[in-house]
Amino acid sequence: MSLFPTYKRHPVHFVDGEKAVLTDAQGKRYLDFGSGIGVTNLGHKHPRVLEALMEQARAVWHVSNLFEQPLQVKVAEKLCQITGLDAVFFCNSGAEANEALIKLARKWAKDAKIIHEPEIITFTGSFHGRTLATLTATGQEKVKTGFDPLPPGFRTVPYGDMEAVKKATRTTTAAVFLELVQGEGGVRPADPAFVRELADWCKEKEILLMIDEVQTGIGRTGEWFAYQVYGIKPDAISVAKGLGNGYPVGAVVADSRLKPVLGPGTHGTTFGGNPLAMAVCDAVLTEIGQTGLLEQVREKAEYLKKKLDDLVRSLPAVREIRQKGLMVGIELDEPAAPFIRQLLENGLVVLPAGEKVLRLLPPLIVSEEEIGQAVSVLHQTLSQTKIGV
């Protein structure tokens, strides 16, 4: 095979998808509770999104950001209205959005606070991307091995430890970078009291509060963004995954005082915010905004929670279930990989989140019937699968 051996792939080739169901090359159907790692929030082949993409594809695919793009302005205005923030930069992925956040924080600190070597506080268990800066910000050593020397300017403290944040704060601190629900770190929601205290601390110390909403954004937690669930307002957020429902796109959304920081020549992208991506984003935001989907997500999340509570009581292999909206981590007392393989064999796609955690990220349009089917497969598989299968 001519590919780098970067991924340990399952021997399954999906050739079709519709709503919450995938079909492989042999015609076998699977419930998709991975959503391409939290991407296809509106499911596969969503009619509004598909039509928007096809209509734009028949017009123009790409023009550079050296020319006016009214559709970018339209989508940016929607994001600002949804978030209560004021300025948007479009890129191609979550890692790029987080990279832009890091650059934004550093330049703001140099311009506004005259900090020559600004630092950013991050947290253990976090995951922010695979570029050199974002993997350095990530609080997991396994992603950093072999890539040193890593860029300076980051201090990593225990997740949820406010005293550690205070001790790590210096006159050179520019920002705190936080996932409100750690996805790759095991689906671990932050404690609300910690989040409120952190927001107050950042405001008091004039430090930027930057929230990584790459996986939690666009309805995943039952609101547009997780910070709205927690009742805080960050200075800037990163967005990707669900924003394009599978079309590559990312964005930074920031407060008005940060808007002048990225002036002409300070940052850029060739493909970011291209017409195809913007047509898809516009359709996604319109669909969620007009259909009452967020309320449905909250209702489905509650239904899923009740079903999973029964799972905990009946299966000794399950240690804990952590959930925020339709983002679920099932922690086992054994390695998750054999269970994931068997779940796939039994027609259910789920994801890992660390060595012993099953991660469920169903499409937001999943039905209660499909939730019931998925939990039934989980129960059957977790009851019967043994290590080494």
Residue in the structure block whose two tokens are 């910070």: 227
Question: What does R_g of the chain's alpha carbons equal in angstroms?
Answer: 21
Q: Does residue 220 have a known ligand-binding role?
A: no
The CB-based long-range contact list for 161-166 (8 Å cut-off, 24+ gap) reads 161/194, 162/194, 162/197, 162/198, 162/201, 165/121, 165/198, 165/201, 166/201
Q: Is 270 annotated as a binding residue?
A: yes
Query: Do the annotations mark residue 94 as ligand-binding?
Result: yes
Residue 156 annotated as binding site: no
Q: Are strands 154-157 and 119-123 parallel, antiparallel or unpaired?
A: parallel
Q: Which two tokens stand for residue 248?
A: 């590559």
Residue 95 in marked binding region: yes
The annotation status of 215 as a binding-site residue, yes or no, is yes
DSSP 234-246: -SEEEE-GGGTTT
Q: Read out DSSP for 103-141?
A: HHHHHHHHHHH--SS-EEEEETT----SSHHHHHHSS-G
Binding site annotation covers 329? Answer: no
Residue 116, phi-psi category: left (phi > 0), alpha (psi -120 to 50), beta (remainder): alpha
The type of residue at 27 is G
Report d(CA 374, CA 33) in Å as an integer. 8
> Would the annotation count 214 as a binding residue?
yes
Residue numbers in the known binding site are 94-95, 127, 130, 212-215, 269-270
Residue numbers in the known binding site for N(2)-acetyl-L-ornithine are 130, 269
Residue numbers in the known binding site for pyridoxal 5'-phosphate are 94-95, 127, 212-215, 270
